Amino acid sequence: MQRVRLRYTKRGRLRFTSHRDFQRAFERALRRAEVPMAYSAGFTPHPKVSYANAAPTGTASEAEYLEIALAAPREVAWLRERLDESLPAGLDIVDAVEAKTSGFAERLEASAWELRLEGVDPAEAERAAKVFLTTSSVEVSRETKKGIRTFDARAAVTALEAADAFASPSPSGGSDALASVPCAILRLVVRHLTPAVRPDDVLSGLRSVADLAPPVPAGVTRLAQGPLDERTGTVTDPFAPDRDAATAALPTAAGQQAAAAPEITGQ
Amino acid sequence: MPVESVFPRLEALLPHVQKPIQYVGGELNSTVKDWDACDVRWALMYPDAYEVGLPNQGVMILYEVLNEREGVLAERTYSVWPDLEELMRKHEVPQFTVDAHRPVGAFDLFGVSFSTELGYTNLLTALDLAGIPLSAAERTEDHPVVVAGGHAAFNPEPIAEFIDCAVIGDGEQAVLEISEIVRAWKAADRPGGREELLLRLAKTGGVYVPGFYDVEYLPDGRIARMVPNRSGVPWRVSKHTVMDLDEWPYPKQPLVPLAETVHERMSVEIFRGCTRGCRFCQAGMITRPVRERSITGIGDMVDKGLKATGFEEVGLLSLSSADHSEIADVAGGLADRYEEDKIGLSLPSTRVDAFNIDLANELTRNGRRSGLTFAPEGGSERIRKVINKMVSEEDLIRTVSTAYGNGWRQVKLYFMCGLPTETDEDVLQIADMATRVIAEGRKVSGSNDIRCTVSIGGFVPKPHTPFQWAPQLSSEETDARLAKLRDRIRGDKKYGRSIGFRYHDGKPGIVEGLLSRGDRRVGAVIRAVYEAGGRFDGWREYFSYDQWMECAARVLPGYGVDVDWYTTRERSYEEVLPWDHLDSGLDKDWLWEDWQDALDEVEVEDCRWTPCFDCGVCPQMQTEIQIGPTGKKLLPLTVVGK
């Protein structure tokens, strides 16, 4: 059975899509794209899709991942393109790879986030980030289904720094488009631990240890998800092992795939 | 004049509200047209939450029909939940469309579709958030023309003060005609202002402008007459009827939301209208005559719709879907076509007497065998004669036991309480029927593991039906009768365990009754409830009976009437009813005869299969019954790549 891993985005206004909403939209896109899905057994069969680590509702993402299982093999590039076309703009399939390795979920060790703080002076954000990093433990509380939960938001954070500061155009646009408001941007790297530390938790941490209080809700975007390179502190591509495995096995694998999928045409 | 999107201001509020996805738009198959390239712009509203409003077929159809027309643009708006409403008021964000987030106040027309009267307070909320004066009389040329449609618009009198006009009947052609009138008026630089535009609409005879009619009352509170107060305005306004459904295959590109909604399926309307003649059923009366979509037309819509949406279930929609003249071929043909694709089929409304097991087997061939639902509506043979729901108990038992015998384990039965002439005994017979269903079911299935759920709600008499003169049962009597039924079912030692009982108390029905058969004086109650914070009256968690009654008690005595006068009072033949000037095609004398037949327990056949009973619709509206069979079959589709 062919398994394909996809990287997708939640951009712009569609960042308000919840994970459940995305699942429904994706399953419908599979139908529209006529992807020959493998189905689970049982009374109500479901297409086989596994999702990893969905970003919270309201946060944008450039790096969400899922894996699908196909009943008949398809070319990966064709799948990527067809599914991307079938999804609403903003939910975009940006990368795809045939699964050649196991343990994909475990490979998603950390996330890199961008926090856009409209109306916050970049210098102020930089100062707050330093205070946060020099504090050994930052207790934050979050409301969960089981009530208020308090935990440390500091230990999971491996990087928090101000990115290049710039002034963005006023969001109201119109005649005073030339007017500008300050906007700070923070880059954050968080290790996926239990309990999961979300960007929101880091923001509440910044508020509690450094009095950083953005006047409007922060624009949060996940930039990357994958193995954490301890040496450079960066999040790397989780598809790399699959690509390496495919390259190593190239001569035979390509031949098999071409033979198994004769019906693929350019239509 | 450019119209700015309010989205940047709305976006800042969204992280603070429940389910923000419902406010962002971007649904698959939604359309955003260039504002400046269009000269007629509609904001279409379903006055309930997005999750209920988005799947609404009426709005979806008009949205597509209007957007297909050159120079015309339509966007959608829905009721915002109180959490967002509060923030919008605080931050001065107006009622917006979800398509391009334009302020509703900037459109030429604001069309609101009322499936039920319980959306009236939400209309007022939306008007106010849009910055449109609640009273039509206070609006200027800068405000949209507020148009009401949908089934509740067949008696728009309770909201007469708040709307500029109402359109009754099928909207497809009507909205295009209205668009052309607005276009011509704007192109001529708006001669005569708003008044002239409304006059042009009224003179077509198909648009009701309440402001052009004066209501005169008798000393006892009844209506003396409704009189046009402008020359050229017709005494009666006609409903619109689309005759050939195959020419209107909408929605062609059904909207697919990201948010979860109440109907997670694609719907194809297989026919419009119903002539079964159930006397309580407003939909069946006001949508006559029956007009079928052809089997090939249905097949085409299902094919294109599935390709455009990716839905996994298709609902074959109508008032009584098993009555389509070629339903067996439709269901069988679709089941054949989509066997491989795991597409489920459903018939949302199936009559007991039109049901057959072959059809049910076809529908569930592709996997899903959920429960079966039937609506005998009345518990006794006698009351079923009164309401003209000609289903015998033997039919029902036979149908249901066949279902149990074929593997179904769950059957739901719908009933009403408070029907005209009903006694406790009529309702208690529901328990006997359910008991027989279980007894038969156990026998044929050889299992005790079967269930029957009885679901029952209070009956609300509706305009343009034979029961429009009938007294509504008070909520106290409704509740008492339902309590007796519950005790009877629970008290049954042998079968009670297998019978589920779900009921709705009588209070919401009284408010619905007030709004259904109300006149213009009821508008003051709606306004008072809105001002007291009333919203989302179709939702148990928001609906407040006490608030409605308090407001009614404050407002109505000034007119010498009260809630009982509108609800539990029986009307006489002579009485001028508030909707008499709105012509549904039904002859008032025929309705009265049918009401008398009901009291005499005399049944009337379906005119599809028997000679005409002169209900008046066909000659009046120059329409005719459009049914098959066409004799055609659904051919399998050639699938690319197989």
Answer whether residue B541 is part of any domain: no
Q: What angle do CA B401, B406, B409 make, to 5 degrees?
A: 70
Find the CB nearest A267 among B23, B28, B640: B640
Distance CA B560, CA B554 (A): 12
If one counts the domains in chain B, the total is 2
Assess B3–A contact: CB distance below 8 Å, yes or no: no
Q: Chain A residues with CB inside 8 Å of B14's CB?
A: 16, 58
**CATH of the domain spanning A2-106+238-260, picked from 3.20.20.70, 3.40.50.10320, 3.30.70.580, 3.40.50.720:** 3.30.70.580
pLDDT digits (tens, 9 = 90+) for A24-48: 999 999 999 999 999 988 777 889 9
Q: What is the full DSSP assignment across B44-75? A: EEEEEEHHHHTT-HHHHHHHHHHHHSTTEEEE
Domain presence at residue B209 = yes
Of the partner residues A28, A30, A86, the one whose CB lies closest to the CB of residue B311: A28
What gap in Å lies between CA B136 and CA B195, rounded to an integer? 11
Element at B307 (helix H, strand E): helix B295-309
Q: Which pLDDT score is estimated for A265?
A: 39
Residue B128 pLDDT more than 80?
Answer: yes
Q: Are B35 and B73 in contact (CB under 8 A)?
A: yes
- Given a cut of 70, the residues of chain A with pLDDT beneath it are 165-179, 250-267
Domain C-terminal end among B182, B203, B238: B238
The CATH number that applies at residue B159 is 3.40.50.280
Distance of CA B594 to the CA centre of its chain: 23
Integer-rounded Cα radius of gyration of chain B? 25
CATH of the domain at B353: 3.30.750.210
Instruction: For chain A, give every residue range classified as CATH 3.30.70.580.
Output: 2-106+238-260
* CA–CA dist B330, A64 (Å, integer): 42
Domain match, B173 and B284 both: no
A229: tokens are 């390179």
| Per-residue CA distances from B339 to A117, B224, B265, B636 (Å) | 52, 61, 17, 11
- Please provide the average confidence, as pLDDT, over all residues in chain A: 88
Is B258 close to A22, i.e. CB distance below 8 A? yes
Residue-wise pLDDT tens digits, B6-29 = 999 999 999 999 999 999 999 999
Amino acid at B200: R
The 10s digit of each residue's pLDDT in B435-466 is: 999 999 999 988 898 999 999 999 999 999 99
Q: Are residues B277 and B178 in the same domain?
A: no
Q: Which residues contact B557 (CB under 8 A, 6 or more apart)?
A: none
Asked whether residue B152 falls in the same domain as residue B282, the answer is no
Show the domain range for B274.
Answer: 265-369+604-631
The one-letter code for the residue type at A44 is T
Do B164 and B23 lie in a common domain? yes
Of A179 and B85, more confident:
B85
Place of tokens 């109440």: B262
Same domain, B174 and B27: yes
Q: pLDDT confidence of B1, banded at 50, 70, 90?
A: low
pLDDT of res. A255: 46
Residue B546, helix vs strand vs coil: helix
pLDDT in tens, B580-632: 999 999 999 999 999 999 999 999 999 888 889 899 999 888 898 999 898 89
Contacts of B258 in chain A (CB under 8 A): 14, 17, 21-22, 24-25, 88
Please state, rounded to an integer, the average pLDDT across all residues of chain B.
94
Chain A: give the shortest CA distance to residue B169, in Å: 34
Domain assignment present for residue B80? The answer is: yes
Which residue of chain B comes nearest to A200, CA vs CA? Answer: B15
pLDDT tens per residue across span A98-121:
999 999 999 999 999 999 999 999
B141 in the same domain as B229? yes
State the pLDDT at residue A267. Answer: 36
pLDDT of residue B370: 62
Given the DSSP bridges, would you call strands A219-226 and A60-70 parallel, antiparallel or unpaired? parallel
Mean pLDDT of B361-388: 84
Specify if B275 maps to a domain: yes
Amino acid in position B209: V
The per-residue pLDDT for range B256-311, each reduced to its tens digit, is 999 999 998 999 999 999 999 999 999 999 999 999 999 999 999 999 999 999 99
B314 interaction partners in chain A (CB closer than 8 Å) = none
Whether residues B290 and B352 share a domain: the answer is yes
Q: Which site among B11, B13, B18, B93 would you substitute to test the A interface, given the most A Cβ atoms closer than 10 Å to its Cβ?
A: B11
Euclidean distance between CA atoms B458 and B473, whole angstroms: 8
Residue ranges of A 102-161 with Cβ closer than 8 A to chain B: none
Instruction: Please tell me whether residue A223 adopts helix, strand or coil conformation.
Output: strand
* Cβ–Cβ under 8 Å, residues B566 and B575: no
pLDDT at A251: 61
B20 and A58 within 8 Å at the Cβ level: the answer is: yes
- Does any domain span residue B535? no
pLDDT tens readout for residues B397-429: 888 888 888 888 889 999 999 999 999 999 999
Higher-scoring residue by pLDDT: A257, B491: B491
Sequence-distant contacts of A169-172: CB under 8 A, at least 24 apart: A171/A118, A171/B8, A172/B8, A172/B9
Give B311-345 pLDDT, tens digit per residue.
999 999 999 988 999 999 999 999 999 988 888 88
Q: What is the CATH number of domain A109-230?
A: 3.30.70
Are B333 and B322 in contact, with CB atoms under 8 Å apart? no
Closest residue, chain B, to A90 (C-alpha): B26
